[in-house]
A and B are shown apart, each in its own frame.
Chain A
Amino acid sequence: MDTQTSSQASSDSLRTLLRDASVVQASQYFNGEEITLIASPPDHQLGQVLKRYIVMVLLSSPELRVVFKVHFNPEQVRAYRLAKGCSPEDLSDKQLVDFMKELSNQMGGRVCRIFDAHQIAMGMSIPLCTRGIYEIYADYKPKTGAITKFGDFWRLDGSFDSIYCSCYVELMSKEDFSHIKCADEQSQEGELDFL
C-alpha cells in the first residue's frame, strides 16, 4: 500500500472510529438509549453554525491531533433532563453546559482508550464551551502532504432531540491507523492525561 492510499485508509478508519465512538458513548451517557447516527445531515455542511453552543476537547499525541466538538442547544438538553425527572433548580445554563462538557469528555476519553489499546498514548484537554457562532472561525480545510488533515461532522438523534458532532483530525506521521477500530477499546483503568 503506497503512502497516499495508506493515508486515505487511515483517514477513513479514523472517521469511522470517531463516529462510532460518539454513538457508543452517547448511548451510554443517555442511559443506554438508542442513538441514530445521521451521517450526512441534510441542509447543513461542515463549518456551519449548527447549534447555539459548542463544547470541544483536544486529543493529542505525537502521531495525531483531534479537535472534537459537540454542538447542542441548551433548551433541548433542559427538556430532556426535565423529562428524566431532574429538578428545574438543577438545570441552570451553566449546569446544562457542564452536562454536555461531561459528554464530550467521555467521548474523548473513549477515543483515548481505543488508542491506548494500540499503545498510542493520547492526552486530552479539559472540555471548553463557546457559543455556536465561533464555528465560523474553525478551519476544516483538508490537507495532504507532511501533515494530513480532514474534517467531518454528523448528527446524533435520540430522545434528547439531536446534537451534532464535528471534528478535524491532523495526522502528523505516516503511520497507518486503518486497523484501529472502535471495538478495540481497552478497559478503563488508570488515569488519563489531560493537556
Chain B
Amino acid sequence: MSHHNELIASQRVLSMLEGACEYSEQILDNVPSVFVVLNKDNRVIRANKAFCDLVGCTMEDALHLDFPAFFTSENRDVLLHHVNHLRTEGSGETHARAKIEIGGLTEDQPAKPFFWRIFRLEHLSEAEGRVISIVGDDLSGLYQSELKLMSIFSSIPLGLMVMNRDGVITEVLSDYCHVLLNQRALLGKSLRDILVPHNPDLQTELSQAFGIMQDCVGKFITHFTAREAALADIAQLSIDGHSEQAKWIKPRFQPIVKNNTVERYMVILEDNTASYLAQRQIEKADLLGKQAQALYECAIRDPLSGLYTRLFMNDSISRLIASSKRGNLRELAIVMFDIDNFKSVNDTHGHALGDEVIKAFGSIILSCTRDTDIAVRYGGEEFILAMPSNDTREQSGAIVAERIRQKLADCRIDVGGGKSLHVTTSCGVALCNPTDTLETLILRADKLLYTAKHNGKNRVCVEPSAAE
C-alpha cells in the first residue's frame, strides 16, 4: 500500500514539474521580444510568437528555418560575425549586442531595426552543436520617435549641442548650430575658440565662463548653481557673417547631470539678431526724439528770459482764445509789457546789462504766474502774458500785471561799483471777447500799453470794461 502511495506521489510531482516547464515555455512564447534558439547551422530550433509574427509563419513552420536568411547580405554578415565569434572556443565571450536590421528582402517587407542580444548556451549538443539563443527588440518605434525628435530639433530656430568638460562640441543636435555659428563642421571643435575671435571685447568674460563650467564638471550640481550668475556676463554674443551682417546670439549653458553630478553641458544658442536690431532701432528713434524735443524747446523757449517765444505763442494763445469763445473760460486776459527806456539802458550800460534786465524781468514774470499762464517774450523788450481763469477767486490779469510792474519797480539791478539800476515797465491789459482773434487782442493790448506809456510810463492801463 505504501509503495502504491509513493508511486502516486511521484507521478504527481512529475506532473507538477511538467506543468511548471510548460508555463515557463509559454512565458517565453508570449514575451514581446523576438526569441529564437539556433543550432550549429543557424537554423531555428525554438522560436516564440513574436518571431513567428515578425517573419509571418506558424510556430511549426518556424522550426528549422534558416535564421540568417531573414537578413540582407550586409546585415547577415554582421549577425554571423557575432554568432560565429561566440561559437569560437576560447573566445571568452558569452554574449554580444548589436543593432541590426531584419527583413527588407522584398519591397513589401521593409527592413526593421532591431536590437539583438546574442547568448552562447554552454551546453554542447552532439546533434545540434553549439546552440545560440537570440533575443531581439524592435527599435522601429524608437527610431521613428528619434527621427521625429530630430526633425523638431532641426526645424526649431535654436542651436542645440552638447559640450564636454573641455568645451569641445561632442554632439550637434540641431542644424541651426551651423547657421548661427557660420561653421560647416562643429564636432570636435572648441566652442570657446569659435566665439572668442568674433567677440574680442568679451574675451575675459568668455574665458571666465568656460573656466567656471570646466571647474564644475565632476562636482555636485549645487556647485554650478552657485556660480551660474557669472555666466550672465556673456548674454549677448556676435558672430560675423562672411557676406551678410553680423548675427547676435544669446547662449545658455544647461548642465547635464548624472547622480547629482555635472557631466557635460547642453548649449542652447538663441538667435537674437532681430530683437537686437529692433532694440538698436528703438534706441536710435529715442535719441532722434530727444534731439527733436531739444530742438523744439530751443525754438519755443527764449534762452535769455526763460519765457516762450512767439513761435509757441501763436498756437497756444490761439487755443486759449478758442476755448474762451466756447465759454470754457470765465476770463482770458492778455497783458502786454514793455520795459521803459530800455534803449537808454543798453546805450548807457551796454547790451550785457540790458540782457541782465531782460533776464530779471523774465524771472519776475515767471514768479508771479501760474503753470496755466503763458508768458512770451514778444520782441526785444516787449512781453505778452496770457492769463486764463475759471474761478472768481482767481486774481484777474490787471492785478497780476500790477504786481509784476511793482516787483520790477522794486527790483535793483547791480551795475557794479556799488551802484544799482532801477527799471520800470508799462503794460496794457486787454480782455478777450467773443469776436476777438489773436491779432485783435494783441492790437488792443498794444494800444493800452501805448496809453500807459503816454500817461507817464511805469503804470498799468486796463481795458475799460475789464476795469468795471
Q: Which residues of A contact B (CB under 8 A)?
A: 45-49, 51-52, 73-76, 125-126, 128-133, 135-137, 140-141, 194-195
Contacts and interface: CB of A to CB of B under 8 A. Distances in A.
Nearest to B43: A49
Contacts of B128: 47-49, 136
Contact of B60 (A52, A125, A131, A140): A52
A75 B15 CA distance: 23
Contacts of B14: 125-126, 128
A71 to B, nearest CB: 10
A136 B123 CA distance: 8
Given A126-B15, A128-B18, A52 B127 contact: no
B260 interface: no
B11 interface: yes
Interface of B: 7, 10-11, 14-15, 18, 21-22, 25, 37, 39, 45-46, 58-60, 63, 123, 125-128, 131
18 contacts: A45-B127, A46-B127, A48-B128, A49-B39, A52-B60, A75-B60, A126-B11, A128-B14, A129-B22, A132-B45, A133-B37, A133-B46, A136-B45, A136-B125, A136-B127, A136-B128, A137-B125, A140-B127
Contact of B21 (A48, A49, A130, A194): A130
B60 A73 contact: yes
Contact of B63 (A125, A128, A132): A132
Contact of B45 (A49, A73, A125, A126): A49
Contacts, number: 64
B7 A195 contact: yes
Nearest to B45: A49
B126 A47 contact: yes
Given A47-B126, A47-B128, A133 B45 contact: yes
B18 A130 contact: yes
Nearest to A126: B11
A131 B26 CA distance: 10
B18 A48 contact: no
Contacts of B127: 45-48, 135-136, 140
A147 B124 CA distance: 24
Nearest to A46: B127
Nearest to A139: B126
A168 to B, nearest CB: 12
Contacts of B25: 131
Given A47-B127, A48-B128, 14 more contacts: A48-B39, A48-B45, A48-B127, A75-B59, A75-B60, A76-B60, A128-B14, A128-B18, A129-B22, A132-B45, A136-B123, A136-B131, A137-B125, A141-B126
Contacts of A126: 11, 14-15
Given A52-B60, A52-B63, A73-B60, A140 B126 contact: yes
